[in-house]
Structure 1
Amino acid sequence: MSETLRIPAAPAAAAIAHFSARLAFETDVSDVAADLERGAPGIVVVDTRNADAWRQGHVAGAVHLPRVEIPRRAAGLVPAGATVIVYCWGPGCNGATKAALAFARLGHPVKEMIGGFEYWAREGFPVETGAGQVVRRSPDPLTAPVSDLSCAC
């Protein structure tokens, strides 16, 4: 018997509900990068890490708002009606999930950028240093195409 199919796949209707719900709560680094590059309106990307992590490098164009400061400072940094895109270090960190919950409790529409800063940097998207310099690393071939072509996902 197949280990993969030991528990059968969900019926199509349940799969549609599940995957639609996930996409309502999550976005990926490629989609965020494309939106920032074209200046898509209505989103604010928020780095929820501490000041040392921010200075180490962050998504170019992000706003710095550590998770513990969200309840106190969000109103001054996030325009009403904007969708907040939160990130933290990476897949092994639930800081962005906690931040998304904090923004949702304040009434903001919010999505978590899966992969976090780790995958942003590993896929070669612009990283701003603490000195204000914007750098791009070569894409990691285990996370992104190394050519200029997109994975078209």
Structure 2
Amino acid sequence: MVMTNALRFPAADPTAAVVFFAAELALEADPDDVHRDLLDGNTAGYVLVETRSPEAFAQARIPGAINLPYRDLPDQLDLDPNLVYICYCESFQCNAATKGALALAQRGFRVKRLAGGITAWKEAGYPVESDAQALAGVSKVACHC
């Protein structure tokens, strides 16, 4: 029998798969799920956290998000310890959300990362907010982490 590339490494036992995928879902949020929550007006229990720079936040952010740039997080934060903080950045190619989530977790907060960042959010056609003055005569800020 010829071995396929896809099965060169055997699939995990179902019990191991349950543990792995449950852990992955405990650490990531899906843009579609977050968008449905926003549409329903039901974001109880979590806050979206933009971990890029204030300039990037001003140009485009997910509605309702707060800006906590990962580079500038103080040791003490005035955040509700009962909430989950869903961090996002530019895209899968950017790790500012990972760095921000790590920094928040190190300070004792529960966190998740938004899969694909604001790029995946916009590609899905979901709305973004911006500050009017941020758009006036300023060139586009890319990742700006």
Interval containing the TM-score (normalised by the shorter chain)? 0.7 to 0.9
AA aligned opposite 2:67: H
Match of 1:91 in 2: 92
Larger Rg belongs to = 2
Match of 1:29 in 2: 31
In 1, the alpha carbon distance for the partners of 2:131 and 2:76 equals 21
Q: Are the structure 2 counterparts of residues 73 and 112 from structure 1 closer, same or farther at C-alpha, using a change threshold of 3 Å?
A: same
The count of corresponding residues between Structure 1 and Structure 2 is 130
Identity %: 41
8 Å contact from structure 2 (residues 81, 110) kept in 1: no
1:18 to 2, 20, 25: 20
Q: Give how far 1:34 is off.
A: 1.5
Could you tell me which runs of 5 or more consecutive residues in structure 2 were left unpaired when the two chains were aligned: 134-145
8 Å contact from structure 1 (residues 71, 106) kept in 2: no
Match of 2:60 in 1: 57
In 2, the alpha carbon distance for the partners of 1:106 and 1:36 equals 27
In 2, the alpha carbon distance for the partners of 1:90 and 1:25 equals 16
Match of 1:142 in 2: none
* Structure 1 stretches of 4+ moved >3 Å: none
- TM-score of the pair, normalised by structure 2: 0.84
Which string of whole-angstrom CA distances, capped at 9 and with x for unpartnered residues, describes residues 63-82 of structure 1?
1111122234632xx32311
In 2, the alpha carbon distance for the partners of 1:70 and 1:35 equals 27
2:5 to 3, 8, 11: 3
Which string of whole-angstrom CA distances, capped at 9 and with x for unpartnered residues, describes residues 83-124 of structure 1?
100000000011101111011011111000010010111111
Higher RCO, Cα 8 Å, sep 6+: 2
Matched, 1:40 2:43: yes
In 2, the alpha carbon distance for the partners of 1:96 and 1:44 equals 14
- TM-score of the pair, normalised by structure 1: 0.80
In 1, the alpha carbon distance for the partners of 2:61 and 2:76 equals 19
SS in 2 for 1:16: helix
